[in-house]
């Protein structure tokens, strides 16, 4: 029986490298289809890495009028599209006058990691060519809170609207913050998730100089290979995923279906390095354990871990060690998989996508695979669901997200 104070997800919207909506993304992930391809957003000739996970076929002019399109950056445009789908999926109407939820009781928590990097890079080029061509909307379009604000403007939301940046943990933390807003009584409904779009020459050169990106340019579909012995770095991607959260009582009162409960989670810091994870996994272990304890979830209750699984040497090994330490012998009974094997790393949207994957795995009783896992890497000895999706009952799932700066966020989702 549902507790009316449970916070549940009633809608999803997604634009990813494998689909421009929720269900097409989900079916592509189940099919093990890769969305990694040569970069088309700019001329990548001369860069060490020339592949990415791009959102394909997205036309902002079909979504926004010309003025709004010109004033907004791509990460906001993707967010608006995902939010519209999420609201429709949840059968949610904003505005009491329209017979829906009071707009002042609806909030937005929409996080990102690198904000409007593409707009900044373009503006710098304009500055050198002709400063007069820089848009008066340049500053407002690239700042980190703008996707959340654009979604609020688009939907007429007047409740709490916020954005925070936790690097690659941003997208999943949004759900925990949204949950707090609902449980504190500050909102009845919150749109939560993540968005990022920073496929630019400067970003790729910087990450390449760091040694973070895969250089498997001749075989893009096989470049992202979490937990595999031949992994050589992550694949940079873009996208947006937005979820509709509300209390179970509120959802039931308006006749909405719930995908899963967002039971809670935890946030910790490595306090170790600006980009490398603590190889001991201490911070990740702490976040996983606190997430289980705070939600009253026994390790043996968890059926699926949607892994951070970036395809980098250190991260995949650290995450495996941390899962083993937290789950003990049960670690070998878990299904563990990484959507990044197919879409690459969506940065600020990555954790929100993982939350959607966990919720749909609970809904459908199937776990998407980790593709390209031909030979497990040294000490990577868990069940990573290689190559092919697997039918299995998922009653509880944990979502891991670890970001630059040592930010570790873990959420627990449960069946309702």
Segment 61-95, tens digit of pLDDT: 999 999 999 999 999 999 999 999 999 999 999 99
| Mean pLDDT of the chain, nearest integer | 96
**Can you give the pTM of this predicted structure?**
0.96
* Annotated active-site residue in 149, 243, 306, 308: 308
pLDDT of residue 137: 92
pLDDT of residue 4: 64
Question: Would residue 2 count as lying in a domain?
Answer: no
- 219 and 322 share a domain? no
Question: Would residue 276 count as lying in a domain?
Answer: yes
**pLDDT confidence of 99, banded at 50, 70, 90?**
confident
Segment 155-213, tens digit of pLDDT: 999 999 999 999 999 999 999 999 999 999 999 999 999 999 999 999 999 999 999 99
- 156 and 196 share a domain? yes
- 312 and 345 share a domain? yes
- 58 and 164 share a domain? yes
Segment 201-221, tens digit of pLDDT: 999 999 999 999 999 999 999
How many CB atoms neighbour CB 345 within 10 A?
Answer: 30
**Domain housing 73:** 7-260
- 288 and 228 share a domain? no
Per-residue three-class SS string for 252-287: HHCCCCCCEEEEEEEEEECCCCCCCCCCCCHHHHHH
Question: Would residue 31 count as lying in a domain?
Answer: yes
Q: Which of 260, 278, 308 is the last residue of a domain?
A: 260
**C-alpha closest to that of 322 among 391, 250, 210, 408:** 408
- 346 and 398 share a domain? yes
**pLDDT confidence of 33, banded at 50, 70, 90?**
very high
Side-chain half-sphere exposure of 393, counting CA atoms within 13 A? 2
- 344 and 255 share a domain? no
Side-chain half-sphere exposure of 283, counting CA atoms within 13 A? 21
| Locus of tokens 């998922």 | 394
Question: Would residue 339 count as lying in a domain?
Answer: yes
Query: Does residue 387 carry a catalytic annotation?
Result: no
Question: Would residue 243 count as lying in a domain?
Answer: yes
**pLDDT confidence of 1, banded at 50, 70, 90?**
very low
Q: Which helix (H) or strand (E) holds 76?
A: helix 74-89
- 285 and 351 share a domain? yes
Total domain count, the chain: 2
- 230 and 89 share a domain? yes
Query: Does residue 345 carry a catalytic annotation?
Result: yes
- 66 and 37 share a domain? yes
Q: Is the pLDDT reported for residue 2 higher than 90?
A: no
* Annotated active-site residue in 168, 243, 380, 409: 168
pLDDT of residue 98: 81
Q: What is the mean pLDDT of residues 104-125?
A: 95
CATH number at residue 21: 3.40.47.10
Q: Which of 260, 295, 318 is the last residue of a domain?
A: 260
* Annotated active-site residue in 250, 345, 380, 409: 345
Q: Which of 260, 280, 296 is the last residue of a domain?
A: 260
Q: Is the pLDDT reported for residue 5 higher than 90?
A: no
- 91 and 234 share a domain? yes
- 249 and 334 share a domain? no
Q: What is the C-alpha separation between 299 and 315, in angstroms, rounded?
A: 22
Query: Does residue 128 carry a catalytic annotation?
Result: no
Q: Is the pLDDT reported for residue 10 higher than 60?
A: yes
pLDDT of residue 379: 96
Segment 243-258, tens digit of pLDDT: 999 999 999 999 999 9
Distance set, CA 410 to CA 263, 366, 398, 403 (Å): 11, 21, 7, 11
Q: Is the pLDDT reported for residue 333 higher than 50?
A: yes
């Amino acid at each position: 029986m549902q507790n009316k104070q449970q916070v549940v997800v009633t809608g999803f919207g997604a634009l990813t490298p494998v689909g421009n909506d929720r269900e097409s993304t989900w079916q592509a992930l189940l099919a093990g289809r890769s969305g990694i391809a040569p970069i088309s957003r700019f001329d990548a000739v001369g860069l060490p890495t020339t592949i990415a996970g791009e959102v394909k076929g997205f036309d902002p002019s079909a979504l926004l009028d010309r003025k709004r399109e010109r004033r907004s950056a791509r990460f906001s445009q993707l967010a608006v599209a995902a939010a519209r789908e999420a609201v429709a999926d949840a059968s949610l109407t904003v505005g009491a006058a329209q017979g829906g939820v009071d707009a002042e009781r609806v909030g937005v928590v929409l996080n990102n990691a690198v904000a409007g990097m593409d707009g900044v890079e373009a503006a710098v080029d304009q500055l050198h060519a002709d400063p007069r061509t820089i848009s008066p909307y340049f500053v407002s379009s690239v700042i980190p809170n703008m996707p959340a604000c654009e979604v609020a403007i688009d939907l007429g939301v007047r409740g709490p609207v916020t954005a925070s940046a936790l690097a690659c943990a941003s997208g999943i933390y949004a759900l925990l913050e949204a949950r707090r807003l609902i449980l504190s009584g500050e909102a009845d409904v919150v749109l939560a998730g993540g968005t990022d779009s920073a496929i630019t020459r400067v970003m790729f050169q910087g990450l390449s100089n760091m040694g973070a990106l895969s250089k498997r340019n001749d075989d893009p579909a096989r470049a992202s290979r979490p937990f595999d012995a031949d992994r050589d770095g992550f694949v940079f991607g873009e996208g947006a995923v937005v979820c509709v959260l509300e209390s179970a009582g509120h959802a039931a009162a308006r006749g909405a279906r719930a995908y899963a409960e967002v039971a809670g989670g935890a946030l910790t810091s490595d306090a170790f390095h600006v980009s490398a994870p603590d190889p001991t996994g201490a911070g990740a272990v702490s976040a996983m354990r606190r997430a289980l304890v705070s939600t009253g979830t026994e390790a043996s209750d968890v059926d699926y871990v949607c892994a951070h699984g970036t395809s980098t040497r250190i991260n995949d090994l650290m995450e495996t060690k941390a899962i083993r330490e937290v789950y003990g012998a049960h670690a070998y009974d878990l299904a563990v998989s990484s959507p990044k094997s197919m879409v690459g790393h969506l940065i600020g949207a990555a954790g929100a996508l993982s939350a959607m994957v966990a919720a749909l795995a609970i809904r459908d009783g199937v776990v998407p695979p980790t593709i390209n896992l031909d030979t497990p890497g040294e000490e990577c000895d868990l069940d990573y669901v290689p190559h092919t999706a697997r039918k299995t009952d998922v009653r509880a799932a944990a979502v891991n997200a670890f970001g630059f700066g040592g930010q570790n966020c873990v959420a627990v989702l449960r069946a309702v």
